[in-house]
Amino acid sequence: MLTQLTHLEIIHCQDIEDCPPLPLTLSSLLLINCWEIKSIANCNIAGCNNLTKLEIWGLKMVEMEDFPPLPVTLSELELSYCPKIKSLPKEWHHLTCLQKLNIRGCENIECFPEGGLPPNLMSFIFWGCKNMKQPVREWGLPMLTSLEHLEIDMGGERDKVQFPSGDEDEEEENAWNLLFPSSLTFLELRDMRNVERLSNGLRNHLSSLQELGIYNCLKLRDLPEDGLPPSLHRLCISKCEILKELSDDYRRLIQEIPYIYIGGFQI
């Protein structure tokens, strides 16, 4: 009866403990706020060879040591507010169709699977996974040559984005190359509470960047001495208490940016 079903949403169903077997014709699956579901192992997601979108949100009871495999057809994956999930899909670097990846509020995730992130990502959001132990430098982000949109929020518990603070020019110039791909047009960093300065090299490396947001970086005191990318049309810095005022010289460096918002004031 459901052999032709392509889109399935199971939302706020509090009476089911296991995700049922899925029609193999599905192209979109949303599991949202089903608090009693304890496992998704039996639903055979991998067998849905037409699946392009998978959204798993608010499955508070699901405990997974091993995430089930996913079909290579997947182009969008969201895993949000599943606090007991301990692993991500193994070998997800084989998900070559995946373009959009959101992982939020999964506090038991400590590292990414071996082999690297899905290689053709265009958008990656990683928020509030406060027990992540793997430093951003080891995520392999520079290998994602199609990545345009990146948001990272480490939850303030662990500061795993580390910009050089020394005087080595070569180290500073390479900092952005080692952390982020040059393809970025949108970059947002939140709760990097030990970051004191943004190193030089951003201007040249992120030459396509259009929007930059820095939020709740309580020790941030300096922006790059050589300025910001000329492509930038929006700069937002908020809740960075030390960095409240810019010198006149620095204002001249960034005066061509159409929209600048720093410390609660638009300049």
Q: What DSSP assignment string belongs to 74-102?
A: --EEEEES-TTB----TTGGG-TT--EEE
Is the distance from CB of 74 to CB of 48 less than 8 angstroms? no
Burial class (CB in 10 A: 0-12, 13-18, 19+), 21: exposed
For residue 249, the model assigns a pLDDT of 67
All structural domains of the chain with their residue ranges: 7-266
Fold held by 7-266: 3.80.10
Residue (of 92, 110, 91) closest to 101 by Cα position: 92
For residue 156, the model assigns a pLDDT of 54
For residue 208, the model assigns a pLDDT of 95
DSSP states of 174-210: HHHHHHS-TT-SEEEEE--TT--BPPTTHHHHTTT--
Hey, is 51 helix, strand or coil?
Answer: coil
Is the distance from CB of 35 to CB of 58 less than 8 angstroms? yes
For residue 174, the model assigns a pLDDT of 59
Split the chain (267 residues) into runs of 10 and give each run's mean pLDDT.
82 80 91 86 88 94 83 96 89 95 93 94 94 89 96 68 47 68 95 78 90 87 83 89 66 83 63
